[in-house]
Amino acid sequence: MTERHVVVVGAGPGGLACAMLLSEKGFSVTVLEKEAVVGGRNAALECGPYRFDVGPTFLMMRFVLDALFHRVDRDPDDYLNFFPLEPMYQLDFVDQSMKIFSSNETEKEQAEIERLFPDQTDGLARFYQQEGKRFNALMPSLQRGFKHRREVLSKEVLRALPYLAPGKSLFEVLQGYFQEEELSLAFTFQAKYLGMSPWECPGAFAIIPYIEHAFGMYHVEGGLNAISHAFARVVEEEGGRVRTNAEVAELLLDGRVARGVRLASGEEITADAVVVNADFAYAMSELVGPGVLKKYSRERLAKKKYSCSTFMLYLGLDTLYDAPHHNVVFADDYRTNVDDIFKRKVLSDDFSLYVHNPSVTDPTLAPEGHSAVYVLMPVPNNESTIDWDHSAGGLRERALDLLEARTVMTDIRQHIQTEHMITPWDWQHDYHVYRGATFNLSHHLNQMLVFRPRNQFEELANVFLVGGGTHPGSGLPTIYQSAMISSDLIRAAAGQRGRS
């Protein structure tokens, strides 16, 4: 059994998943987290008796999470209580009669399309068939790591290539199935999961609505933050350490070889391998001195493309509204709203909201008869000139106005018992998210696969990456996949054979 010491910088879902896999395989693992709690963007936010998820609320591809637990010889149901969501979500367009309930049960989804778009009924079967093929072709390239640019010719990438739909946006691909604007949007708003515009997001990401419809969507009791807590529990069961309030100030480098980390307290910890889970662009700008990195120097990082940001409200209410678990309220003019975020980088006059109302599913999040509601507004990242100290209060009022006007939460202001707000500046300064781009480096094709920062970091020996800023990408299932890829690479570097 190897006793190599691995330090993990950050206890986000990626860092904890990797720590879990490695500690179970006999590595001595120390996770260093700057906050007092684990989870990062996937942490719990406790406000009095209310509990919110800070970030992720949609759990897709549950089979990837299951695979992680199976790799450490555990049953996920022993750690987590899953609730499949049906319908998956409600989409609310400005015409009040246009509410679409999305289902992952084919017959129900087909009936919903027949009810609202009687001339578009043949698209769903084609969508399932063609996007299923695309999903099967792309998956292997999302499950392997890339060490060299030449691996762009690997069999997995060659298999994926015909399905990458280069030059086509997600919206254009979906228009091939559904011509009605609202129906296309029902299958393309998912670009927001990547913090991108449906009109810019590569068409290959049509696999995301496919994944939702084919495999469904889950909630976890206590919120998705419970997954991060479960990972931390496994790390400790396997003898690993999770140290909170332990901010890393720099990577200790011997030339371009990492030897450990220095904490903000001055403590130095040596390691055979350093796993960086902190946001990639933040970490490479702040934890590595100037002049060391070339491909990802500060200047080059500044030129990369990043996702949008989010303005968040977390509201503890003394009532429970009869609204679905997940709700998306579309701006009157969605295209203008999206262009404001991504092109003009200004606050829209007319904006869209995602409203999370999980207390309808899960009574553990608030006292009886109360609820924990979170509101997410996609907004420009900090490449904008928006002064968030000045704008946040007004935006809160406008978000509440929209909830009162467009949802069943018509008297929400009267029911707010406690609240918390996160602005793009908070994401950057408190959560260490580069430019407040909450969904990381964007997922343009030239920042994907072999072109994304590699799991075995190409610029520093002994450094491995996990999380949304590395391959394969920024959602929870891909982050879990990054942990599997990186832990396999670390094991291989240590001479351990086979997959975990």
Ligand X SMILES: Cc1cc2nc3c(=O)[nH]c(=O)nc-3n(C[C@H](O)[C@H](O)[C@H](O)COP(=O)(O)OP(=O)(O)OC[C@H]3O[C@@H](n4cnc5c(N)ncnc54)[C@H](O)[C@@H]3O)c2cc1C
Q: How far is the CB of 9 from ligand X (least distance, A)?
A: 5
476 binds ligand X per the rule CB under 6 A:
yes
DSSP 3-state of 467: coil
Provide long-range contacts, Cβ within 8 A and 24+ apart, for 199-202: 199/169, 199/170, 199/171, 199/335, 199/338, 200/169, 200/342, 200/444, 201/169, 201/170, 201/171, 201/443, 202/164, 202/165, 202/166, 202/168, 202/169, 202/170, 202/443, 202/444, 202/445, 202/448
- Give the residue with the Cβ less far from ligand X, 337 or 381: 381
Nearer to ligand X by Cβ, of 323 and 376: the residue is 376
Q: Does 20 bind ligand X (CB under 6 A)?
A: no
> How is residue 462 written in tokens?
């002994």
Instruction: Single out the residue of 19, 248, 347, 355 in contact with ligand X (rule: CB under 6 A).
Output: 248
Q: Taking CB under 6 A as the rule, which mask of x and - marks residues 359-378 in contact with ligand X?
A: -----------------x--
Q: Where are the alpha helices (DSSP H) in 413-458?
A: 424-429
Which amino acid, residue 291?
Answer: G
Q: Give the nearer residue to ligand X in terms of CB position, either 9 or 116.
A: 9
Question: Rounded to an integer, what distance in angstroms lies between the CA atom of residue 389 and that of residue 470?
Answer: 31
Contact between 250 and ligand X per CB under 6 A? no
The rounded distance, in Å, linking the Cα atoms of 74 and 227 is: 14
Near ligand X by CB under 6 A: residue from 169, 184, 310, 337:
310
Indicate which single residue of 438, 455, 481, 496 sits in contact with ligand X (rule: CB under 6 A). Answer: 438
Residue 324 binds to ligand X (criterion: CB under 6 A): no
Q: How far is the CB of 169 from ligand X (least distance, A)?
A: 21
- Verify binding: residue 278, ligand X, rule CB under 6 A: yes
Q: Are 138 and 163 in contact (CB under 8 A)?
A: yes
For ligand X (CB under 6 A), the number of binding residues is 34
Tell me which stretch binds ligand X (CB under 6 A): 5-13, 161-169, 172-180, 360-368.
5-13
Residues in contact with 206: Cβ distance below 8 Å, sequence separation at least 6, in sequence order: 131, 134, 165, 170, 173, 174, 187
Taking the complex as a whole, how short is the minimal distance between the CB of residue 381 and ligand X, in angstroms?
A: 11
Binds ligand X (CB under 6 A): choice among 22, 30, 40, 206:
40
Q: How many C-beta atoms lie closer than 10 Å to residue 354's C-beta? A: 20
Positions in 44-73 near ligand X (CB under 6 A) = 55-58
442/304 Cα distance (integer angstroms): 8
Q: Does 76 bind ligand X (CB under 6 A)?
A: no
**Angle at 328 (CA atoms; ends 322, 333), nearest 5 degrees:** 130
Q: What is the DSSP secondary-structure string of 312-378?
A: EEEEEESS-----SEEEE--TTHHHHHHIIIII-S--SS--EEEE-GGGT-GGGSSTT-EEEEEEEE
Say which amino acid occupies 371. S
Q: How far is the CB of 375 from ligand X (least distance, A)?
A: 11
Assess 453 for contact with ligand X (CB under 6 A): no
Three-class SS state of 299 = helix
Give the three-state DSSP class for 15.
Answer: helix
Closer to ligand X at the Cβ: 309 or 496?
A: 309
**277/407 with CB nearer ligand X:** 277
Query: Minimum CB separation from ligand X for residue 122, in Å?
Result: 31
Kind of pairing between the strands at 268-270 and 241-243:
unpaired
When asked if residue 432 is in the footprint of ligand X (CB under 6 A), the reply is yes
Q: Which is nearer to ligand X, 198 or 475 (CB)?
A: 475
Q: Nearest approach, Cβ of 124 to ligand X (angstroms)?
A: 24
Minimum Å distance from CB 195 to ligand X? 8
Does 33 engage in binding with ligand X (CB under 6 A)? yes
CB-CB neighbours of 68 under 10 Å:
26
Exactly one of 4, 7, 8, 10 binds ligand X (CB under 6 A); which one?
10
State the nearest-atom distance from the C-beta of 237 to ligand X, in Å: 20
Q: Is 242 exposed, middle or buried (0-12, 13-18, 19+ CB in 10 A)?
A: buried
Q: Which two tokens stand for residue 178?
A: 């559904």
In terms of CB distance, is 113 or 479 closer to ligand X?
Answer: 479
468 binds ligand X per the rule CB under 6 A? yes
Question: Of 130-138, 166-174, 276-284, 317-325, which segment contacts ligand X by CB under 6 A?
Answer: 276-284
Binding site for ligand X (CB under 6 A): 9-15, 32-35, 40-42, 55-58, 247-248, 277-279, 310, 376, 432, 438-439, 467-468, 474-476, 479
